[in-house]
Structure 1
């Protein structure tokens, strides 16, 4: 199994996991604009079929997942409005592509996930946190408003009233609170976050990819569907998957009381 290099570059591992770092140790683990551009290229390659990946791992290359935007760079921009619009557009392109790949997304949430970092965690399907993990909206502290889809996803996760309270009062949410709110999936020891997240991502990549894609799509789309429409979508999905190689293998393996070989069925 290969692992992401410390160079801050996206990498594809032989376990089927595409690792996308969002920050490095430079600039206090702030969101790295160059890494966003590199992420876009890798995700576009996945959508084109040039990279065969089964899961995506979001992470930071320093002690924090992502400590938010690089405020010093905001301040130094000749035209702050123009710079922030460009940065937001580039970040939103990455988020859009995360969904367009249709792959499960795992986040290794080490240390702080603030501002844009918190937004990226919200877009993951499974977020592994450490005991010292903290999340914070951070936008009101610098007089700005959310980006990265925080104002869309957080209300869906915790309800609009609580979302407004968390963002407007710039709450610091510790690991246990994040788990209670359902914003992270599991808490492990801090030095095990990256290992556990990669293990989870690799397990998803090795599993039935059609099933993982369908689960992610169904859960995401449920937010804008009626129950009747969602039931119809579930019926279409399960019947379609039953005729795929992975679906046939999964059912046959269950009946034969053996472990399914989903990799061989692709």
Structure 2
């Protein structure tokens, strides 16, 4: 059997590839299990400094494998609970890890595929990509964190429109409303993604992880309490090897070497 998720490690960058191209990279239980294992490995490997998530073939991910849904209709509640629960564990780990994540959306993303596509700290998309919530077309409700991510990225009104009308969002609109970071010229997605990943992997990765947490916490905080979190975080960062190297490099007027001096 072909592995449903591929992991490629090179120079501090972990490249995760959803690998069921003949099924549009649809998520079945083996893929969800493999994604969870891969997320745990990336989050806990100190040599991984940046994670890239993309899809094999012409699709990023079409969401859950609907054929599997139909095949498990007798016990659908238990089936969906296990499938979505495993995916949610993987996405929680990727969101909480102490390193940045880039999503390279190489083609259409729908359902949980949309949730995964927009979960990166930076999201680059091929012009051929487009985005659809998909759930209400088959009588289901969102998963994969969509109802948390979408309102925070595009606002409640846009999120309601995208989910309730089930309409397709092309990359031009996606960039304009903040669903993705930017559209990349045709055939340039892999190159630009690799360059961005290399740049992030050479940076202050632990500080990036702390900044990720602060951003996630900000929506649940008041202004004063969030500044308290920022105060604690910057104090810890100042004492860290990254903070010390960054200050030294600035004063010595040289590029900071966060990889070998931390």
Same fold (TM over 0.5): yes
Work out whether 1:58 is the aligned partner of 2:53.
yes
2:241 equivalent among 232, 241, 245: 245
1:111-166 per-position Cα deviation (integer Å, ceiling 9, x unaligned)? 10111111012221100011121001011111111010111211122222221111
2:84 counterpart residue number? 88
Mapping 1:1-266, distance limit 5 Å: 8-47=4-43, 49-50=44-45, 52-77=47-72, 78-266=74-262
Quote the Cα distance in structure 2 between the aligned partners of 1:42 and 1:66: 17
Residue pair 1:12, 1:19 contacting (<8 A) in 2 also: yes
Instruction: Note the C-alpha offset of 1:51.
Output: 5.2
Residue pair 1:43, 1:98 contacting (<8 A) in 2 also: yes
> Structure 1 length as normaliser, TM-score?
0.91
* Structure 2 alignment gaps of length 5 or more: none
Quote the Cα distance in structure 2 between the aligned partners of 1:25 and 1:245: 42
Quote the Cα distance in structure 2 between the aligned partners of 1:29 and 1:13: 21
Residue pair 2:24, 2:58 contacting (<8 A) in 1 also: no
Residue pair 1:120, 1:148 contacting (<8 A) in 2 also: yes
**Judging changes above 3 Å, is the alpha-carbon distance between structure 1 residues 163 and 50 closer, same or farther for their aligned structure 2 residues?**
closer
Quote the Cα distance in structure 1 between the aligned partners of 2:86 and 2:65: 14
Q: How many residues align?
A: 260
Quote the Cα distance in structure 1 between the aligned partners of 2:26 and 2:36: 18
Instruction: Note the C-alpha offset of 1:237.
Output: 1.4
> Structure 2 length as normaliser, TM-score?
0.92
Instruction: Note the C-alpha offset of 1:7.
Output: 5.4
Residue pair 1:23, 1:66 contacting (<8 A) in 2 also: no
SS at match of 1:263: coil
Residue pair 1:22, 1:59 contacting (<8 A) in 2 also: yes
Instruction: Note the C-alpha offset of 1:214.
Output: 1.5
Quote the Cα distance in structure 1 between the aligned partners of 2:83 and 2:149: 20
Residue pair 1:110, 1:190 contacting (<8 A) in 2 also: no
In terms of mean alpha carbon deviation, does 70-79 or 25-34 score higher?
25-34
Instruction: Note the C-alpha offset of 1:250.
Output: 1.0
SS at match of 2:123: strand
Root-mean-square deviation (CA, aligned residues, Å) is: 1.8
1:3 counterpart residue number? none
SS at match of 1:29: coil
1:200-248 per-position Cα deviation (integer Å, ceiling 9, x unaligned)? 1222122111221121111111111111111111122122211211111
Quote the Cα distance in structure 1 between the aligned partners of 2:24 and 2:95: 28
